[in-house]
Amino acid sequence: MGSLFRSEEVCLAQLFLQSASAYSCLNPKVSAFQRRFVGEVRRCEEMEKTFTFLQQELRGAGRVLGPCPESPRAPLAREALRVQEQSEQLAQELREVSHNRASLRGRLRELRQYLHVLREGQRFTSWPVGLGGGTHPGGATLFVAGVIHPWRVSAFERLLWRACRGYLVASFVEMPEPMEDPATGESITWVIFLISYWGEQIGQKIRKISDCFHCHVYPYPESEASRADTMSGLHSQIQDLSVVLEETEQYLAQVLDKVTLALPTWRVQVQKMKAIYLVLNQCSFDVTEKCLIAEVWCPVRDLTQVQDALRQGSYKSGSSVECFVQRIPTSESPPTLIRTNKFTAGFQSIVDAYGVASYQEVNPAPYAIITFPFIFAIMFGDVGHGLLMFLFALWMVLRENSPSLRQSSNEIWLTFFEGRYLILLMGAFSIYTGFIYNECFSKATVIFPSAWSVAAMANHSSWRWDSQPHREPCLVPACTDTPLWDPRLATNHLNFLNSFKMKMSVVLGIVHMGFGVMLGVFNHMHFQQWHRLVLELLPEMVFLLALFGYLVFLIFYKWVKFSAANSLEAPSILIHFIDMFLFTSNAANLPLYQGQVPVQTVLVVLALASVPVLLLGTPLYLCCRRRAPRTGPPAVRLGSRRGGALSRGGGAQRSLTHVDFAEIFMHQAIHTIEYCLGCVSNTASYLRLWALSLAHAQLSEVLWTMVMRQGFVRLNYVGGVVLVPVFAAFAVLTVAILLVMEGLSAFLHALRLHWVEFQNKFYVGAGYKLCPFTFAPDTWE
Amino acid sequence: MPGYSEFYFNVDHGYLEGLVRGFKAGILTSADYVNLAQCETLEDLKLHLQTTDYGNFLANETGPLTISTIDDKLKAKLLTEFHYFRNHAFEPLATFLNFITYSYMIDNVILLITGTLHQRPIAELVPKCHPLGSFEQMEAVSIASNPTELFNAILVDTPLAAFFQDCLSENDLDEMNIEIMRNKLYKSYLEAFYKFCEKQGGTTAEIMRPILEFEADRRAFIITINSFGTELSKDDREKLYPTCGKLYPEGLHLLANADDYEQVKCVADYYAEYKAVFEGVGSGTGEKTLEDAFFEHEVKLNVLAFNNQFHFGVFYAYVKLKEQECRNIVWIAECISQRHRTKINNYIPIF
């Protein structure tokens, strides 16, 4: 609790690291923080480059790297060298083998292409035998054959025709099986071409063109017989190559196995190593003493732990001189450290989203644990909806260790998952408020028998009424007494709830705000600003209580004083409250109690009088103190008792001499105006509790009457069948609109009430977080 | 509605404009250049580039770092970005982006023809081509022996065909003719691009006009200066000048009649901005060359393009600025690897 109430004491400390043992000191998990280790960092980067290569190869082979089994420690220098050696050796091996394989594959592909060219060429060359001999007795028909990328076919064909003016016959045919493209690695269907031409000059031109288009040209034997010979030769070559290729692949698989085994651990190790060196790079280097000096923020509580770690580090590295840590005074404001656990983290993040607490200021998060779900639940009060939400959150909480939930990549889901305890509490509180409102999916339940009796009305109107004996009016123990019959029959249902919820929101709002102002006490006491206690907190409290605290009193007073019997002559609080400010009294509005007018006058005067105190008090006090000769205590106290833990207020005091009086006054004026107007507007702002809870109730009622009740029209089997889709619609709409949408809106409004209405009463939120140096496993990927 | 393009510009081109402006923010600043210029080795240069938008574009380079790999990687990055623009572009932005590539295509064609003329194997030439200007039939250029064949067989299918009308001749391809062909192609290209931008109207035309005018005039100046001492006649020379610049028509006449560098400078004196450019040129070592002065002026014009919204000029400017950045980095890298530190500051800072 202590650490959640306000941020921990953090001090600036100097770490003196012997340069020999600096590396091993940072090695254990320590919260710590001119470019001396560039070489080492570069070495790490080189190793990472090797790893990237290995990983690419693995991915190319379709293997997936498993996560690192356990968290390995950062390697020692000797170990790192070994890792580097081994990884490079593996990479070299892999490179050779895959190069071999690639060349083998290329060779195989060429052979198979050649085979296809010959086979397909057969079709074209078998029939023009007579033609070739007949028309050109002078020269035999010559051939150029090869394969070409399918995209280039049309341009190739056109260029051939243009360049050779049609003195050729080109035929194109697709290869029957797709093959790999060496350039991109994709599998494509190559196109075989066979060009027959006459004359050597054109042949040269064709060869040149086909070179330009990156065609693979293969020699095409003239005679049928030699073609058959070549083909059979190719067949045997292909078989041989396939065997060799298979062996290579096996060897490659072995190498890859080795890599898969070792790589994950290496990667984490080297990443840790690099992180350490990067941090060490930021340390300043003391030339004379041969040691590194690091300035770190360190929680006072952990100083001994740090010292231990340093001692272990220097022991492990075998250096004779010990590393040590030393606190140093500072005028800088230390970072904020609030330790959270999985339960409080969600609430703390709500507060942090508004602003990280200033150093050692009161942290609103512990109060938000209760107030946030409660204020949410006021707007979301429904037993049924609350139960659904509670169960959903409970499911998340129970399965919070399952990796599939934890490592989901869906950002929206993760948001919900992070706030599971928040949702759990919100659901639980909604069940409670729903119980108070007596609503479950907009239907009232009869937990306690209703205190209503129609007997009085029946007697009065001389109805026949004999079924039930007369019952004495009594109090329902807990929840709102909704009459047993349909709430719509009780025409004053809404009137009653409106009045009740409105007053409830005002009361809760003022209590909430008053609590916020009271929390300021802890801030002022902690920072030893006693003058602010008297000059700021007191007038603020008086202003709030005299005006709005009195309103709360009136509400309760009227509830207690007037009962159903004399409710006709009950005066209106609203009119009284307005009259209070106007210093008048209204004859039509009976006074609530004797001597009301003088009491109210005193209260208003008190409240108004507190405004100038609030406005001028602090500036005048500071001004006077500055003029008075230095009596000593403040500065001495600062130095002696609080030591290095310098507070925000302390900083303000010390730098007081430089701060302009006008500036202080301006700040105070702004604060005063903001506070006084804020009291009015914030009170009105709490009425959103009323509005939203009303909207929620009405919406769920609409959903019930317009959807669910339509399923109840027939009370036979057909009606039962109809009920199924109707219920489905009801369920979907309930979850989508009432749970998700309404839940989000209530959440947002609760958030606003906390950030604006509650926290601005005491919370500055101008700090920055302590970011410790840590090897968090999820930051590596 | 050319005047009101800002109302619907974002419908088609908003995403890409936003993107190009984002990329523009990654162009190296002068502070980056100062850091780069202090590097001792190429590895240091790589480390420094890692802190910029280039990130770890060299991270997976195994083996020693060479300038050509750096250059290739820089170009590859620009190419990726450009292809992304091109693949997501609608008309007329798509055509505009195509126009940007044409100039690189012209350069590539000329490079290949010249290379073939010198009996270089095509495999050696292709890597030297700018990747932005590569096209399918590019490598077949080497089989042509004269411009007509080049056109009829190869280039007729490419977008360059439209620029080829002026250079159809049966002349053999010798060095002089190739150079003339390059300039004629460039002239047609610039004029077509200029016309296209004018047709777009609005801010695009407003931004692109000065940039293209400058480009045209720069070519005119450079053609004139390079032609001194060659057998190019003055009439032929005048035919090569792009006619969409500020110099057209009087300035071009004067340039056509110029006989030496001083006369060219006199012509430039009539035009305020070119006068400034020529005055910035020094003759001594370590001082700016005319080329650098022109580059500097170009950078200035391109940077201006980013001051307006809803136009295509930013894409052109981005490609050109990025190209300049590649040149700068390569220059610095060259200076580092050759230990020629005195000239290392001769790069042209962009922002």
Q: Mind listing the pLDDT tens digit for each residue in A705-750?
A: 888 888 887 778 888 888 888 899 999 999 998 899 999 999 999 9
Interface contact flag, B142 A162, Cβ < 8 Å? no
Taking residue A270's Cβ as centre, other Cβ atoms within 10 Å add up to: 24
Sequence letter at residue A576: H
The H or E element that residue A523 is part of is helix A493-526
User: Does A235 score more than 90 pLDDT?
Assistant: no
Sequence letter at residue A540: E
pLDDT for A130:
44
A406 touches chain B (CB under 8 A): no
Contacts of residue B154 in chain A, CB cutoff 8 Å? 159, 162-163
CA distance A381 to chain B (A): 46
Q: Looking at chain A from residue 210 to 239, which residues have their Cβ under 8 Å from any Cβ of chain B? A: 211-213
- Judged by average pLDDT, the poorest of A115-124, A317-326, A688-697, B62-71 is A317-326
* DSSP class of A443: B
Q: How many Å apart are CA A553 and CA A546, to the nearest integer?
A: 10
- Cβ pair A17, A317 in contact under 8 A: no
A159 touches chain B (CB under 8 A): yes
* Mean pLDDT for chain A overall: 78
Contacts of residue B62 in chain A, CB cutoff 8 Å? 49, 53
Q: Looking at chain A from residue 36 to 75, which residues have their Cβ under 8 Å from any Cβ of chain B? A: 49, 52-53
Contacts of residue B159 in chain A, CB cutoff 8 Å? none
User: Does A127 score more than 60 pLDDT?
Assistant: no
B156 touches chain A (CB under 8 A): yes
- Cβ pair A636, A561 in contact under 8 A: no
A253-271 residue pLDDT tens:
888 888 887 787 787 777 7
- Closest chain A residue by Cα to residue B139: A212
Sequence letter at residue B170: E
CA distance A163 to chain B (A): 5
Q: What is the 3-state secondary structure (H, E, C) of A656-670?
A: HHHCCHHHHHHHHHH
User: Does A339 score more than 70 pLDDT?
Assistant: yes
Among A52, A152, A158, the residue with its CB nearest the CB of B60 is A52
* DSSP class of A220: -
CA distance B123 to chain A (A): 9
User: Does B204 score more than 90 pLDDT?
Assistant: no
A24-75 residue pLDDT tens:
455 444 433 344 566 777 777 778 877 887 888 778 777 776 666 666 666 6
- Cβ pair A737, A385 in contact under 8 A: no
B137 touches chain A (CB under 8 A): yes
Closest CA to A120 of A277, A227, A222: A227
CA distance A213 to chain B (A): 7
Interface contact flag, B60 A212, Cβ < 8 Å? no
Sequence letter at residue A72: P
Contacts of residue A163 in chain B, CB cutoff 8 Å? 140, 143, 153-154
- Cβ pair A743, A381 in contact under 8 A: no
pLDDT for B129:
87
Q: Which residue has the higher pLDDT, B155 or A492?
A: B155
Can you read off the two tokens belonging to residue B17? Answer: 């404009």
Angle of CA points B326, B327, B332, to nearest 5°? 100
Interface contact flag, A212 B153, Cβ < 8 Å? no
Among B136, B142, B152, the residue with its CB nearest the CB of A162 is B152
pLDDT band at A644 (very low <50, low <70, confident <90, very high): very low
Phi-psi region of B63 (alpha: psi -120 to 50; beta: other; left: phi over 0): left
pLDDT band at B86 (very low <50, low <70, confident <90, very high): very high
CA distance A624 to chain B (A): 51
Residues 6+ apart with CB under 8 A from A548: A506, A510, A513, A679, A683
* Residue carrying structure tokens 């022991």: A315
Contacts of residue B42 in chain A, CB cutoff 8 Å? none
CA distances from A378 to A148, A354, A427 (A): 74, 22, 11
* DSSP class of A753: I
Q: Which residue has the higher pLDDT, A323 or B93?
A: B93
Q: How many Å apart are CA A505 and CA A486, to the nearest integer?
A: 26
User: Average pLDDT of A78-83?
Assistant: 79
A4-19 residue pLDDT tens:
777 777 777 776 665 5
B62 touches chain A (CB under 8 A): yes
Interface contact flag, B136 A152, Cβ < 8 Å? yes
Interface contact flag, B139 A49, Cβ < 8 Å? no
Interface contact flag, B60 A53, Cβ < 8 Å? yes
CA distance B153 to chain A (A): 5
Closest CA to A291 of A577, A21, A37, A568: A21
Q: How many Å apart are CA B131 and CA A441, to the nearest integer?
A: 68
Q: Which residue has the higher pLDDT, A775 or A372?
A: A372
Interface contact flag, A162 B153, Cβ < 8 Å? yes
A205 touches chain B (CB under 8 A): yes
Q: Which residue has the higher pLDDT, A73 or A521?
A: A521
Among A49, A205, A213, the residue with its CB nearest the CB of B59 is A49
User: Does A656 score more than 60 pLDDT?
Assistant: no
pLDDT for A464:
59
pLDDT for A18:
59
Best residue of A49, A159, A161, A207 to probe chain B, by most B CBs closer than 10 Å: A159
For residue A324, the cross-strand partners are A16
Taking residue A252's Cβ as centre, other Cβ atoms within 10 Å add up to: 19
User: Does A637 score more than 70 pLDDT?
Assistant: no
CA distance A165 to chain B (A): 9
CA distance A141 to chain B (A): 23
pLDDT band at A653 (very low <50, low <70, confident <90, very high): very low
Interface contact flag, B137 A208, Cβ < 8 Å? no
Angle of CA points A39, A41, A46, to nearest 5°? 95
Asked if the peptide bond before residue B92 counts as cis, ω within 30 degrees of 0, the response is: yes
End-to-end CA distance of chain B: 34
Can you read off the two tokens belonging to residue A121? Answer: 């060429």
pLDDT for A330:
75
CA distance A209 to chain B (A): 6
Interface contact flag, B140 A158, Cβ < 8 Å? no
Q: How many Å apart are CA A422 and CA A434, to the nearest integer?
A: 18
Among B62, B122, B153, the residue with its CB nearest the CB of A159 is B153
A577 touches chain B (CB under 8 A): no
User: Average pLDDT of A425-430?
Assistant: 93
ipTM: 0.70
pLDDT band at A507 (very low <50, low <70, confident <90, very high): very high
Among B60, B122, B143, the residue with its CB nearest the CB of A163 is B143
Interface contact flag, A162 B62, Cβ < 8 Å? no
Contacts of residue B136 in chain A, CB cutoff 8 Å? 152, 155
B136 touches chain A (CB under 8 A): yes
pLDDT for B100:
92
CA distance A65 to chain B (A): 20
Residues 6+ apart with CB under 8 A from A523: A361, A362, A762
- Cβ pair B116, B141 in contact under 8 A: yes
Q: How many Å apart are CA A140 and CA A122, to the nearest integer?
A: 17
CA distance A44 to chain B (A): 13
Contacts of residue B143 in chain A, CB cutoff 8 Å? 163, 205, 208-209, 212
User: Does B50 score more than 50 pLDDT?
Assistant: yes
B126 touches chain A (CB under 8 A): no
Among B60, B140, B152, the residue with its CB nearest the CB of A49 is B60
pLDDT for A540:
92
User: Average pLDDT of A633-661?
Assistant: 44
User: Does A628 score more than 80 pLDDT?
Assistant: no
B154 touches chain A (CB under 8 A): yes
- Cβ pair A68, A268 in contact under 8 A: yes
- Cβ pair A18, A276 in contact under 8 A: no
Q: What is the 3-state secondary structure (H, E, C) of chain B?
A: CHHHHHHHHHHHHHHHHHHHHHHHCCCCCHHHHHHHHCCCCHHHHHHHHHCCCCCCCCCCCCCCCCHHHHHHHHHHHHHHHHHHHHHHCCCCHHHHHHHHHHHHHHHHHHHHHHHHHCCCCHHHHHHHCCHHHCCHHHHHHHHCCCHHHHHHHHHHHCHHHHHHHHHCCCCCCCHHHHHHHHHHHHHHHHHHHHHHHHHHCHHHHHHHHHHHHHHHHHHHHHHHHHHCCCCCCHHHHHHHCCCCCCCCCHHHHHHHCCCCHHHHHHHHHCCHHHHHHHHCCCCCCCCCCHHHHHHHHHHHHHHHHHHCCCCCHHHHHHHHHHHHHHHHHHHHHHHHHCCCHHHCCCCCCCC
pLDDT for B194:
92
Long-range contacts (CB closer than 8 Å, 24 or more residues apart) made by A575-580: A576/A600, A577/A551, A580/A550, A580/A604
DSSP string, A353-412: HH-PPPTTPBPSHHHHHHHHHHHHHHHT--HHHHHHHHHHHHHHHHTTT-HHHHT---HH
Return the exposure string of B155-185: e unless at least 16 CB atoms fall within 10 Å of the residue's CB, then b.
bebbbbeebbeebeeeeebeeebbbbbbbbb
pTM for this prediction? 0.62
CA distance B332 to chain A (A): 23
